[in-house]
Copies of this chain bind each other. A is one copy, B any other.
Amino acid sequence: MSFVIQILPLLESVSDCPDRMQLSLTQDPAHIGYFVPWVKLSDFLRAGGEVTIGLVDTYAFLINYKHPWEEVQHRTTFYRHLITTVLTVMGLPMSKIKFEQESNHQGTPRYNVDLWKFCTLVSQADIRATGAEVGAATLLSPLLTPIVQELMVEYFQADVEIGGKDQRGIYGLGEQFLPLLGYRPPAHLMTELLPSLVGGKMSSSDSSNSKIMFLDNAQTVREKISRGSCHPGVVEANGILPILKHVLMPISELRWNNQSHSPQKSVSNGDYDLNEHNGSADVKWPFCAKDAPWGTLFSIPVRNVGCECKVYTHYQSYEAIENDYKEKLITPETLKDAVASALNELLDPVRQAYEGNEEWREADRMGYPEDWI
């Protein structure tokens, strides 16, 4: 897996020992693209760091502007529950992860003066250059979002800020201007953006068919996957392989590591689909079959073997799967089935937690009163 390698050099480039990081959040109900930066948290925790997840409610309000402040507060609650559940399901130790809410750090004289100072330093063009959404905005509030985001890094006392590659412009703004306020800018880690199921960028504003949401039910997940772009033997513009590469394989590796390399697997009947682990939220297994050899991170069933028994091909790396797919040793249907099964196993405890958590459901109802399709 290349993720640790990508991250560690950056960590080492930070002069002091980094012990906090900020994760950028958006304002809409999260799609599974957010697994990508969250997977990175595991590398960071393994390196001995602590993670602050900043719930950036002000940013969300300013960029969003269609929804009242009170609604955004409900979304913050929604996110807190969602992230806690998802990270737990991923197998991350919540004891090393804390939440901080952006607006709790604002509304102080110090913050106020810092905000004014930042605004006197940057040009309107500097701000517009940070990203397309801000650049095209006609309302005033989006112009403030890059500033509140980068300023908050100081208030969260973050050494490292992690987010998608679409944050590049905003991170550059912080690197340029925070020193002028007397603050040290954080190191920046930028993760891949998970592409859309049908190819291209998976953005918050895409139609729901292009992305899988954390709370989609199992059938919806299967249907969206089945409609994904996935030509036989073709890796480019494939909507399914990136989920395997950026979400499932890193999480499987994380879970495997958490088991102290135990060869024991969870699956009692030779399958690993979602029905196996219902109700056992503390059991987090790699996405592989029971009899998989040591080091297996993903097992793909072999179809049409002419008997009732389950036969798998076992993989220790994404690259090996991609190679077999290129060779057409794995069909699109087989790949989609395996990915949908693993995703549903991953998401099922999230759905269950949601159903069992009245506060979370209330936050959803109050925070997202409209249809978000």
Interface residues of A (CB under 8 A from B): 58, 61-62, 65, 69, 103, 106-113, 116-117, 119-127, 137-141, 143-144, 147
Contact = CB atoms under 8 A, between A and B. Distances in A.
A373 to B, nearest CB: 23
Contacts of A107: 107-113
The 9 closest A-B pairs by CB, nearest first: A107-B109, A107-B112, A119-B141, A65-B120, A120-B141, A119-B140, A106-B112, A122-B140, A123-B138
Contacts of A112: 58, 103, 106-107, 111-112
Contacts of A119: 62, 139-141, 144
6 contacts: A58-B112, A61-B120, A106-B112, A107-B107, A112-B112, A126-B140
A140 B138 contact: no
Contact of A143 (B65, B110, B113, B140): B140
A62 B144 CA distance: 14
A109 B107 CA distance: 4
A139 B116 CA distance: 12
Contacts of A113: 69, 103, 107
Nearest to A107: B109
A201 to B, nearest CB: 26
B111 A139 contact: no
A68 to B, nearest CB: 9
Contacts of A139: 119-124
A172 to B, nearest CB: 16
A126 B139 CA distance: 9
A147 B121 CA distance: 18
Contacts of A127: 140
Contacts of A58: 112, 116
A186 to B, nearest CB: 22
Contacts of A69: 113, 116-117
Contacts of A137: 124
A198 to B, nearest CB: 32
Contact of A62 (B62, B120, B124, B140): B120
B116 A109 contact: no
A137 B112 CA distance: 22
A133 B107 CA distance: 28
A141 B121 CA distance: 8
Q: Which of A103, A106, A137, A140 has the most CB of B within 10 A?
A: A140
A58 B119 CA distance: 12
A118 B358 CA distance: 33
A123 B117 CA distance: 22
A284 to B, nearest CB: 39
Contacts of A110: 107
